[in-house]
Structure 1
């Protein structure tokens, strides 16, 4: 059976600013990928070195002497657990700080994935810290751990803050569990998650005031002061100051809202200095529409078209395309022209910066098609070296399909429309007719093992595409999928 509808378009005029690579020249994307993977290795080493360094500095300041007795050993192990746990918490904050070197190395999605994975180990270490410290002190004073904990709460200055800190960490980790957070609206989860900052702030005082752990003149004191100040500065700069500067610099205002299909609209915005936002590809921004009932709700959307119509001052128009997938996104269809817009970003690695090969494959489903349209507009490739696959239940769900077809004609890309219902048995990202005929990704893209593969769509569907791409021989560095949700 032949593959479903295929629109093959020949080479044509290239998009502005995109040049072909001369035949026989070295592939620049492989060198780019090697540099990015090297940066990832360096960041990984630095992260684990920070944990090892915290413990090593404690040992260098005489910490090993605590192992001379049973009670001292419990206390010493508790201190090590606390140091390691707090260092992991700091790493979690840095991973969520949207620091550019992290964002452009591993991507926003993977950074938050690592952030979530560190949550449980950090909590377990902090709980072990409290239990072991109470046990060690209690052994030395002839008290059970519970009585010692009560005594520490009542008698030791700043210690009550440590108990509050642990309780806040428990609340954050529990509400971050997938099965729990899906029961609450995003705004509730986000408010609870802000308690992480309160948990860190309440944990710091007892570290510097109790037991002389970070005594004046010790390397430990300077290490933790520098680490806490640097982390706080990164959060303030990248999470607060940069978004404020971007909002005031670009002065975005909704110019019009254009229906695309039922339940889908494109929101066009005018602004200043929009050249700065060009070439973002499929990277996403966080938008806040400054209108009653909307201003406090962040919306992570990619551009569905590159900024255009620049004048000498960089004034232009940009566009996002939104589907009604819930209460928050449904309100955007009614946003009024003239509404001011706050913007953060761009974030993520869903862009040319992730490329590792000269060939590229773009696969989108539903509203996940729209970031591919912006990526297709700008990412470099030679005519014949790009394939675009759009998946939907019907042609109406291939959003911006006409625009994508025209871009494929201009740039010499191959376009497949994969429409139809899902297969009844077993997971497959293809339509029922194609899956039943035994088609796979390699049926449409025979050279997928030597291509970059960009995937954007619902999570379960994307996992099926990723599985198919791996089975076709694509390596992990060639697979680019990033969730824009929370």
Structure 2
């Protein structure tokens, strides 16, 4: 593979789409403000109480807009996934959580103050009359639910939850938004019937929840029924690591690429409520697919022991950790632990020429060299160079490599001499990946040539 005009053109097309999405995000917030001002809001700053109330309304409208944008980003819409990837979409989703909550809290506080000043009573005493207004108690419930969602999103708190428990709590965000809808439509005439402002907001709600209904529920359900995946065999390849082979129908029509992942659900009494984001560990044929799973908790341990014949439902494929993301003439791959799974499929799918790719395989012990034999064989057939590192991580300046290599002065650039002319793909445990990424960035590699796949949520 060369740095072809086609790949440059694809990259520029993705960047244009990405810029358009960012512009649409901010334009939606600006539209919320502009429509409020256009439909009478501009004249509601005549007194201090009116000004405070109007600022509170604006905060609520922009905060609600951010929440709806977050829902769209979490809906796994194909065009968003193909443009920025699931990881980056969720990163933006998370970054909007706190601002949205702060805006909605400001909305509530400012309205209480503004209404209290207008009626001549203190803000605390104003709460009781507000709660007597139809639909407003639902709005307070919605804010309470959003506070719970944001708190559980904090890293220190999220780690105390299983993926399923955390996901269940986050379903509250949909309920929180829905219970707030009635007060938007009925209180204060802000979204008066027959106005473009009302039509605009209803359209945003339909887009957000329609995206969730379509891409998180309907499409996965239809695909799962159509392709009829079932567990064909389970093979242990290392202590605590198994490969799950599945059979199905017309799997190539999914158009999955090496490096992508699916979200899997295994229908047994112990596992049906678990959903697992796991990468393919080899390219699927029309009738078979394979994933490789490491026992990292209760959920992954349970699916590694499901019986042969178990029905499997799925969502996907997702992710842009694929050959389509390349923009440079060379290819560098650094992988550790179970991160080998998307890399193995990526390498199988990649159209590379002899001498073009260099691969670093990293493990703490020889027991963690999962699928190394398959990757090394693929590399041999494609003319790629493979380096291996086995040993406990150094406590020195480069903690992503074994101590002996750090002491010898090994660096990312010494492993990949043509790093600046390469697309660097990195996959592995988050702490390890962060160290590799930091060294790559400090070396000056352009951001569009750095591709990462994290195994966290």
TM-score (norm 2): 0.97
Q: CA deviation at 1:428?
A: 2.0
Q: CA deviation at 1:294?
A: 0.5
Aligned residue in 2 for 1:235: 212
Query: Aligned partners of 1:127, 1:471: CA distance in 2, in Å?
Result: 39
Does structure 1 conserve the Cα–Cα contact (< 8 Å) formed by 2:357 and 2:385? yes
The size of the alignment, in residue pairs, is: 457
Q: CA deviation at 1:245?
A: 1.1
Q: CA deviation at 1:470?
A: 1.9
Aligned residue in 2 for 1:209: 186
Q: CA deviation at 1:345?
A: 0.5
Q: Which among 274, 281, 285 is matched to residue 304 of structure 1? A: 281
Aligned residue in 1 for 2:297: 326
Q: Which among 246, 253, 258 is matched to residue 230 of structure 2? A: 253
Residue-by-residue CA offset, 1:431-477 (whole Å, 9 max, x unaligned): 21111111111111111111111111011100111122223331111
Q: Which among 202, 217, 238 is matched to residue 225 of structure 1? A: 202
Does structure 2 conserve the Cα–Cα contact (< 8 Å) formed by 1:423 and 1:431? yes
Query: Aligned partners of 1:219, 1:359: CA distance in 2, in Å?
Result: 52
Q: How does 1:422-437 map to 2 (within 5 A)?
A: 422-437=393-408
Does structure 1 conserve the Cα–Cα contact (< 8 Å) formed by 2:260 and 2:317? yes
Q: CA deviation at 1:184?
A: 2.5
Query: Aligned partners of 2:197, 2:125: CA distance in 1, in Å?
Result: 30
Q: Which among 49, 55, 79 is matched to residue 57 of structure 2? A: 79
Q: Tell whether 2:127 aligns with 1:149.
A: yes
Residue-by-residue CA offset, 1:345-402 (whole Å, 9 max, x unaligned): 0111111232222321111101111110000001222221111110012333221111
Taking only aligned residues, the RMSD between alpha carbons, in angstroms, comes to 1.4
Query: Aligned partners of 2:7, 2:399: CA distance in 1, in Å?
Result: 30
Q: Tell whether 2:79 aligns with 1:104.
A: no
Q: Which among 420, 426, 435 is matched to residue 464 of structure 1? A: 435
Q: Tell whether 2:344 aligns with 1:373.
A: yes
Does structure 1 conserve the Cα–Cα contact (< 8 Å) formed by 2:396 and 2:403? no
Does structure 2 conserve the Cα–Cα contact (< 8 Å) formed by 1:451 and 1:478? yes
Q: How does 1:352-431 map to 2 (within 5 A)?
A: 352-431=323-402
Q: Which among 347, 354, 364 is matched to residue 318 of structure 2? A: 347
Residue-by-residue CA offset, 1:20-76 (whole Å, 9 max, x unaligned): 55xxx8443222212111111110000000000011011111101111111100111
Query: Aligned partners of 1:27, 1:418: CA distance in 2, in Å?
Result: 35
Q: CA deviation at 1:278?
A: 4.8
Does structure 2 conserve the Cα–Cα contact (< 8 Å) formed by 1:94 and 1:231? yes
Residue-by-residue CA offset, 1:270-320 (whole Å, 9 max, x unaligned): 000111245421111001110111011011110001113xxxxx4x11100
> Which is bigger in relative contact order (C-alpha 8 A, separation at least 6)?
1
Q: In structure 1, the residue corresponding to 2:282 is in which secondary structure? A: strand
Q: In structure 2, the residue corresponding to 1:306 is in which secondary structure? A: coil
How has the CA–CA distance of structure 1 residues 440 and 426 changed in structure 2, closer, same or farther, with 3 Å as cutoff?
Answer: closer
Query: Aligned partners of 1:182, 1:34: CA distance in 2, in Å?
Result: 37
Q: In structure 1, the residue corresponding to 2:264 is in which secondary structure? A: strand
Aligned residue in 1 for 2:66: 88
Query: Aligned partners of 1:51, 1:224: CA distance in 2, in Å?
Result: 11
Q: CA deviation at 1:427?
A: 4.5
Residue-by-residue CA offset, 1:182-201 (whole Å, 9 max, x unaligned): 12222222211110011000
Query: Aligned partners of 1:484, 1:284: CA distance in 2, in Å?
Result: 11
Gaps of 5+ in 1: 1-19, 309-313
Query: Aligned partners of 2:342, 2:412: CA distance in 1, in Å?
Result: 20
Gaps of 5+ in 2: none
Residue-by-residue CA offset, 1:251-281 (whole Å, 9 max, x unaligned): 0010000110111110000000111245421
Aligned residue in 1 for 2:108: 130
Q: Tell whether 2:259 aligns with 1:282.
A: yes
Aligned residue in 2 for 1:114: 92
Q: CA deviation at 1:132?
A: 0.8
Does structure 2 conserve the Cα–Cα contact (< 8 Å) formed by 1:390 and 1:417? yes
